[in-house]
C-alpha cells in the first residue's frame, strides 16, 4: 500500500512542472533593422525567461490575420495594415516605432522620361503596389503637386513586377521599396522620399503591435522587450560601422530578414530608428490622438476607406497607441 501511495505521489509531482515557462508567439517580417540582433542574441529570452516562438510572415496583412485569430500575441506591421486592424476593431495597440520609413521608400522617375518633378508625371505611367504605404504616399505626393490620380495612369504592380516593367521600359516612374527601389534607382532619379513627405505632414512607418490582453498580463516582458530593442537601435545609431561588413550583427540581420549580407548596410541606412525619447514624444507615440503615430494611422485609414479597403474610420486612433512601455523603459 505504501508503495502505491508513494508511486501515486511521484506521478502527481511529475505531472506538474517545477517551473511553468511562459510562451509568446512573435510575428516578424523581412525588414532589415537592429531588432534582428535581439532575435539572434536571445538576450530577451535570457532576461525574461520566456520562450519566444519567432514566426516570419510575408506581409503585414498576414500578421494582422494571425493576431486576429489569437495565434500571435505580438507582431511587426506597416502603418497601413495597423490602421486596417484598428479600423476593424482588433484589440491591439502600437507600442514601438520599429522604423521611420524615411528614404526606404521613394518615388523614382526613369532617366529620359522627361520627368524632373512630381508635377511632370501628368500623362505618365506610374506603378506602385496598391493599398501599401508607397501607394498612400504616392497619392499624397500627387496632392501636394496639384495633380489628381486621373491626371496620370497609376498602375497596380507588386515589387518584382515593377522591376521587370522598368527593365522593359513599360513605366515612367514608380513608388516602391527595396529591392525593387535599388533596381529603379540605377537608371532613374528620386523625385521624393517617404521621409520628405512625412516632414510635409503625412508619415508612414513600420511598428510593433501587441494584443492588449497580453500587454496587460505581461507588463514586465513588454518593458524588457522595449529596452532590448532600444539598446540595439542605440548601438546602430552610435556605431553604424559596427553593422557593416562581415560582422555577427550583419549576419544576424541577413539571416532573420532572409536577405543578403552585402545588402544590409545600404538597406538599413535608408531607415531612421527613433530613440526612446523620440518614441515617447508627441512626434510618435505620445500626444494621444494628436500624436504623430495616431495622426499617421488616421490619415492612412482615410486613404484606405477612399480605396474601398475598409468600411469605417475609427473615432480615435490614439486609443490604439501607447507610450506606456517606452516611458517605463526610460526610468
| Per-residue model confidence (pLDDT) at position 14 | 45
Report pLDDT digits (tens) over 38-61: 999 999 999 999 999 999 988 888
Q: Is the pLDDT of residue 4 over 80?
A: no
The span from the CA of 109 to the CA of 115, in Å, is 6
**103-199 CATH fold:** D-Maltodextrin-Binding Protein; domain 2 (3.40.190)
- The residue-averaged pLDDT of 210-232 equals 98
The answer to whether 138 and 175 are in contact (CB under 8 A) is yes
The span from the CA of 16 to the CA of 250, in Å, is 42
E strands, the chain, where? 23-28, 51-56, 74-78, 92-100, 105-110, 125-128, 153-156, 173-177, 188-193, 205-211
Give the pLDDT band (50/70/90) at residue 12. very low
Which class for 288: exposed (0-12), middle (13-18), buried (19 or more C-beta within 10 A)? middle
Report pLDDT digits (tens) over 101-160: 999 999 999 999 999 999 999 999 999 999 889 999 999 999 999 999 999 999 999 888
Report pLDDT digits (tens) over 61-74: 899 999 999 999 99
Residues of the chain with CATH 3.40.190.10: 23-101+204-329, 103-199
Cell digits of residue 219:
507588463
Cell digits of residue 71:
495565434
| Per-residue model confidence (pLDDT) at position 59 | 85
CATH 3.40.190.10 fits 23-101+204-329, yes or no: yes
Which class for 7: exposed (0-12), middle (13-18), buried (19 or more C-beta within 10 A)? exposed
| Per-residue model confidence (pLDDT) at position 19 | 52
The span from the CA of 214 to the CA of 203, in Å, is 28
Give the pLDDT band (50/70/90) at residue 2. very low
Q: Is the pLDDT of residue 291 over 80?
A: yes
* Averaged pLDDT of the chain: 92
| Per-residue model confidence (pLDDT) at position 198 | 92
Report pLDDT digits (tens) over 78-97: 999 999 999 999 999 999 99
- Backbone φ and ψ of 207, nearest 5°: -135, 170
Where do runs of H (alpha helix) occur along 260-311? Answer: 261-269, 276-280, 292-306
CB atoms within 10 A of CB 231: 16
Amino acid at each position: 500500500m505504501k508503495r502505491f501511495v508513494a508511486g501515486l505521489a511521484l506521478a502527481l509531482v511529475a505531472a506538474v512542472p517545477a517551473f511553468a515557462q511562459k510562451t509568446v508567439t512573435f510575428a516578424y517580417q523581412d525588414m532589415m533593422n537592429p531588432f534582428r540582433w535581439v532575435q539572434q542574441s536571445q538576450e530577451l529570452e535570457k532576461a525574461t525567461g520566456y520562450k519566444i516562438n519567432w514566426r516570419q510572415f510575408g506581409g503585414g496583412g498576414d500578421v494582422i490575420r494571425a493576431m486576429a485569430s489569437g495565434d500571435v500575441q505580438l507582431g511587426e506591421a506597416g502603418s497601413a495594415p495597423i490602421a486596417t486592424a484598428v479600423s476593424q476593431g482588433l484589440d491591439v495597440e502600437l507600442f514601438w516605432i520599429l522604423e521611420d520609413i524615411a528614404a526606404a521608400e521613394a518615388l523614382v522617375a526613369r532617366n529620359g522620361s522627361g520627368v524632373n518633378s512630381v508635377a511632370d508625371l501628368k500623362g505618365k505611367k506610374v506603378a506602385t503596389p496598391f493599398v501599401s504605404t508607397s501607394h498612400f504616399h504616392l497619392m499624397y505626393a500627387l496632392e501636394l503637386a496639384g495633380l489628381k490620380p486621373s491626371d496620370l495612369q497609376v498602375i497596380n504592380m507588386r515589387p518584382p513586377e515593377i522591376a521587370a516593367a522598368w527593365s522593359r521600359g513599360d513605366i515612367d516612374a514608380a513608388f516602391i521599396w527595396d529591392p525593387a527601389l535599388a533596381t529603379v534607382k540605377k537608371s532613374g532619379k528620386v523625385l521624393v522620399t517617404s521621409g520628405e513627405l512625412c516632414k510635409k505632414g503625412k508619415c508612414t512607418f513600420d511598428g510593433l503591435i501587441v494584443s492588449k490582453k497580453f500587454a496587460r498580463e505581461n507588463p514586465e516582458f513588454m518593458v524588457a522587450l522595449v529596452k532590448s530593442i532600444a539598446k540595439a537601435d542605440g548601438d546602430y545609431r552610435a556605431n553604424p560601422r559596427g553593422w557593416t561588413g562581415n560582422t555577427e550583427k550583419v549576419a544576424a540581420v541577413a539571416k532573420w530578414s532572409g536577405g543578403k549580407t552585402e545588402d544590409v548596410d545600404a538597406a538599413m541606412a535608408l531607415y531612421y530608428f527613433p530613440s526612446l525619447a523620440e518614441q515617447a514624444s508627441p512626434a510618435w507615440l505620445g500626444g494621444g490622438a494628436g500624436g504623430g503615430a495616431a495622426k499617421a494611422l488616421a490619415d492612412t485609414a482615410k486613404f484606405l476607406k477612399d480605396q474601398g479597403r475598409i468600411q469605417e474610420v475609427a473615432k480615435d486612433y490614439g486609443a490604439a497607441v501607447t507610450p506606456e512601455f517606452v516611458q517605463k523603459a526610460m526610468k
